[in-house]
Amino acid sequence: MVWFHGGAYSSGTSNELETGGERLSRQGDVVVVTVNHRLNAFGYLHLAEFGAADVIDSGNAGQLDLILALEWVRDHAAEFGGDPANVTIFGHSGGGAKSATLMAMPKANGLFHRVMTHSGQQVTASRPSTASGHALALLKALGLDRTQVDMLRTLPMEQLVKVSRAPAYLGPVKDGRSLPRDPFDPDAPPQSAHIPMILGNTRGETRTLIGRGDPSLFALTWETLKPKLEASSPFMGSLDRADVIAKYREWHPEYSPTDIFFAATTDSRSWRGQVIEADRRASQPAGVAPTYVFQFDWRTPIDGGKWGAHHGLDVPFVFDNAAITPHFVGTGDEPLALADLMSRAWIAFARSGDPNVTGLPKWPAFDLGRRATMVFDRESRVVDDPRGRERRLFGQVPYVQPGT
């Protein structure tokens, strides 16, 4: 089981307490590999259009690092008791997006046999022209122009890190070489149709994604909700924010203004990408590998429960690390029981391609008729088409992958 960390394509590390692999490895008799790799300007700065020949693949260097890691697993897994013919990649946020991107990279074909993504989708990749513009923004921040790319080789690392956020986005590039197509557009990648997949999101992604940076969001009123949605939700496109609010108040009369803000921004943002990926997997020809969809609803009690089922909360559960992350999940038997259940399901899927285990309701494969989704909560259950009204509402808006 090979883990790719979150942090978009710009930050993050696998060296986190919640993603330590020891407990998962001991529980399931699996080899757990966690990978660090080149990020931001070092991993995704597209210089091919104005650099030397040896930087032609620079826009996907971070992805190529992951492929090298998987080649290492193929060559050395058996030395640790692993099976190189049964490799699962899984990741959260940017790590999920990296996994989705690998599903469309020819060099990665055959290096993994299962995929699990958590709150991380990559429907489209950057166009070369867009990525070149981002590279120019970084050069400009350094006081350089397109003729001075070679100077990047000698600049101190700290200087490059300092300006790495000057571009609006750094991420995979559909360069016609290592990534010849968009990962999940216009369809799911045919080269990975035979690979079983789990994908899902948490119910309250933006409570931390947006909420950590704006404490006022936890004190919204009915008067301040609409302007906040207008300022914070480009993913809603041209939908009238007052109409969105009215629909959420009708569907969820118990929601506060804060609840509606985080629900609507979650449903229109990263969850949209997951819906698209699941739908396109389910639209592939009959007989391809199954897709399983989950929704993580369990709410952390930390800080009085204000963070809800936030972005990344599911990670310590699938690693069976709830016992060592009370700062994330609180204490008591409840998080321990859920961690035991989810980690066993993830191990079962890695081993066989089927996540069904004792103690979990029967988890059917996803299809466009039923849209069966496993909802992980205090009492986990299968729900057909959860948030179907929200899905149809935001499905009216053309989806644009952030940054691409």
User: Can you say how many angstroms the Cα of residue 78 is from the centroid of all Cα atoms in its chain?
Assistant: 29
In a domain? residue 281? yes
259 and 299 share one domain: no
73 and 180 share one domain: yes
Query: Can you give the pLDDT at residue 139?
Result: 96
251 and 340 share one domain: no
Instruction: Name every residue whose Cβ is closer than 8 Å to that of residue 364 and which is 6 or more positions away in sequence.
Output: 370, 372, 382
CB atoms within 10 A of CB 23: 18
Burial class (CB in 10 A: 0-12, 13-18, 19+), 54: exposed
Query: Can you give the pLDDT at residue 141?
Result: 96
In a domain? residue 355? yes
In a domain? residue 388? no
Instruction: Name every residue whose Cβ is closer than 8 Å to that of residue 134 and which is 6 or more positions away in sequence.
Output: 45, 46, 126, 167, 168, 169, 170
CB atoms within 10 A of CB 224: 14
- Contacts for 14-19 with beta carbons within 8 Å, 24 or more apart? 17/321, 17/324, 17/325, 18/315, 18/316, 18/319, 18/321, 18/325, 18/328, 19/315, 19/319, 19/321
292 and 163 share one domain: yes
Look at the alpha carbons of 95, 403, 388, 190 in this order and tell me if their dihedral is positive or negative: negative
Q: How far apart (Å, rounded) are the C-alpha atoms in residues 356 and 395?
A: 30
Query: Can you give the pLDDT at residue 233?
Result: 78
The b-or-e profile of 264-298 (16+ CB within 10 A means b, else e) is bbbbbbbbbbbbbbbbbbbebeeebbbbbbbbbbb
For residue 258, the enclosing domain spans 209-268
**pLDDT one digit per residue (tens) for the chain, 404 residues:** 999 999 999 999 999 999 999 999 999 999 999 999 999 999 999 999 997 888 999 999 999 999 999 999 999 999 999 999 999 999 999 999 999 999 999 999 999 999 999 999 999 999 999 999 999 999 999 999 999 999 999 999 999 999 998 998 999 999 999 999 999 999 999 999 999 999 999 999 999 999 999 999 999 999 999 999 999 878 899 999 999 999 999 999 999 999 999 999 999 998 999 999 999 999 998 778 999 999 999 999 999 999 999 999 999 999 999 999 999 999 999 999 999 999 999 999 999 999 999 999 999 999 999 999 999 999 999 999 999 999 999 999 999 887 77
344 and 260 share one domain: no
74 and 139 share one domain: yes
131 and 36 share one domain: yes
The b-or-e profile of 88-102 (16+ CB within 10 A means b, else e) is bbbbbbbbbbbbbbb
Q: How many domains does the chain have?
A: 2
In a domain? residue 384? no
In a domain? residue 391? no
In a domain? residue 51? yes
Enter the tokens of residue 133.
């513009």
144 and 258 share one domain: no
140 and 93 share one domain: yes
Query: Can you give the pLDDT at residue 229?
Result: 95
User: Using the 8-state DSSP alphabet, how is residue 239 labeled?
Assistant: -
Cis preceding-peptide flag for 186 (omega within 30 of 0): yes
Cα dihedral 233→239→242→245 (10° resolution): -70
Instruction: Name every residue whose Cβ is closer than 8 Å to that of residue 56 and which is 6 or more positions away in sequence.
Output: 48, 177
pTM: predicted TM-score of the whole model, two decimal places: 0.96
In a domain? residue 333? yes
For position 98, which CATH number holds? 3.40.50.1820
Domain termination site, one of 268, 288, 306: 268
29 and 156 share one domain: yes
Query: Can you give the pLDDT at residue 246?
Result: 98
Please report the DSSP string for 244-301 in residue order: HHHHHHHH-TT--HHHHHHHHHHHHTHHHHHHHHHHHHHTSPTTS--EEEEEE-PPP-
Q: How far apart (Å, rounded) are the C-alpha atoms in residues 119 and 96?
A: 7
140 and 252 share one domain: no
327 and 194 share one domain: yes
Q: Give me the residues paired with residue 116 across strands.
A: 90, 198
In a domain? residue 72? yes
Catalytically active residues, by annotation: 93
